[in-house]
Amino acid sequence: MSGSGFKPFMRMTGHEFKEGYDKAILAVGSTEYHGEHLPYGTDTLVSEHIAMEVAKRVKGLLMLPPIPFGMSAHYSNFPIAISLSTETLMRVLREVFDSLRKHGLNRLIIVNGHDGNIPAIEAATNEYRAEHPEFKMTVLSAWWVTAGQLVPEGTFEVWDGLGHGGEGETSMMLRVDSSLVDMGKARGVVPDLPKHVDWKWTFDEITPYGVTGDPTKATPEKGAAMNDALVKLLVDLVKELDEKDWKT
């Protein structure tokens, strides 16, 4: 199920599913304000895109529908954020895991698109693996950090490409669907945060724009470099895991 035969799970018939899948990939995103220049679904759209590009290249990898809501409480002072609690997101994830395991799909890749989801994903996956060691999982927790480590040095001009709606994320959206990006309205700020600690902010405290970083430096070429590096990383990882029967 690769190349021209690829279909996301939502578009499959029961007959097509019976052709054989032994692992799945799940994008977890959010629905929240991303400045005046990006769509509310940016985190979902980017993580879904990465998952789809990987599923197109890996035989037997079932692309699940994305989870479009995350823990967005810290962004909710900008209208409008649809937020789940960490506890609710953990429960949703665990019930997805249960559903897959019931049908013998015991290998899962998670592509996370939103910082607020990281604690829920970390706790849910660790607890679930302890309870069900036969259920194997690997997680790309923060693609925006990983991409910055994989692309050539000097790719980004401001703040290592980081930021909510910043250089890196805007570049990725230009790669995913440039028709959804209005670069004429792009503006952001690099916040002055304490070093060496994880400062707990609400987003309106650190930016008046709903954007951190500098989205004006974003380009489709930077997005393509990030996308290609992340897809290659995950495709190579899954092939390696398959060769080891998903054992470390």
Domain of 82, CATH number, reads 3.40.50.10310
Considering the domain boundaries, does residue 10 fall inside one? Answer: yes
What was the pLDDT predicted at 2?
42
Residue 3, pLDDT > 70, answer no
Residue 186: pLDDT band by 50, 70, 90 thresholds?
Answer: very high
Could you tell me the pTM of the whole model?
0.97
Residue 241, pLDDT > 60, answer yes
Torsion of CA 44, 62, 102, 125, to 10 degrees: -50
Mean of pLDDT values over 223-241: 98
Segment 64-109, tens digit of pLDDT: 999 999 999 999 999 999 999 999 999 999 999 999 999 999 999 9
Domain count, the chain: 1
The whole-angstrom distance between residue 31's C-alpha and the CA centroid of its chain comes to 12
Amino acid letter, residue 13: T
What was the pLDDT predicted at 148?
97
What was the pLDDT predicted at 248?
81
Alpha-helix residue ranges (DSSP H) falling in 71-142: 86-102, 118-131
Considering the domain boundaries, does residue 248 fall inside one? Answer: no
What was the pLDDT predicted at 18?
82
Residue 28: pLDDT band by 50, 70, 90 thresholds?
Answer: very high
Considering the domain boundaries, does residue 173 fall inside one? Answer: yes
Domain residues for 167?
A: 3-243
